[in-house]
Structure 1
């Protein structure tokens, strides 16, 4: 069996406006989860791993907001924010 695998690294780019939107939505969702007494980190991780919006409260329209983003947009914002703070 032969695999034709490229040795080149693929480029992935997200437009700046999408990243800013992701940051704003994450902050709003985080606040809504806190207001309802949930651990926002645990709930967001559950959502990112499963894709199930039931991990996000509907309080403050958070569930609708989070669904405006692709999970890869959220992950990009999280990685960027983490690495910039290091």
Structure 2
């Protein structure tokens, strides 16, 4: 059975990640470093409280964030490359 993430969950993830990214930038942090730190450790203190970003990010499961990142990377890079190789 194939598991598909509902569109409303993807929409929520997109909204949360956008808000968290903006809050980190506004506070002068490197969003990539802070998000990686959070996802790898599970420690929410990697994410600022500014604009309620910490509360927002903890609404998402870390494994779902990782799944979405891999899904995006594969669709944007690997599937396109595989299509070119077979042509």
Q: TM-score, normalised by structure 1?
A: 0.78
What are the superposed Cα offsets for residues 13-50 of structure 1, whole Å, 9 maximum, x if unpaired?
A: 43222122111111110110010000000000000001
Q: Which runs of 5+ in 2 are unaligned?
A: 78-87
Q: Which runs of 5+ in 1 are unaligned?
A: 1-9
Instruction: Specify which structure has the bigger relative contact order, considering alpha-carbon pairs within 8 angstroms and separated by 6 or more residues.
Output: 1
Question: Quick one: distance in 2 between partners of 1:80 and 1:23?
Answer: 13
Q: Which has the higher helix share?
A: 2
Q: Which of 71, 74, 85 is the equivalent residue of 2:65?
A: 74
Please identify runs of 4+ aligned residues in structure 1 that moved more than 3 A. Answer: 10-13
Q: CA deviation at 1:65?
A: 0.3
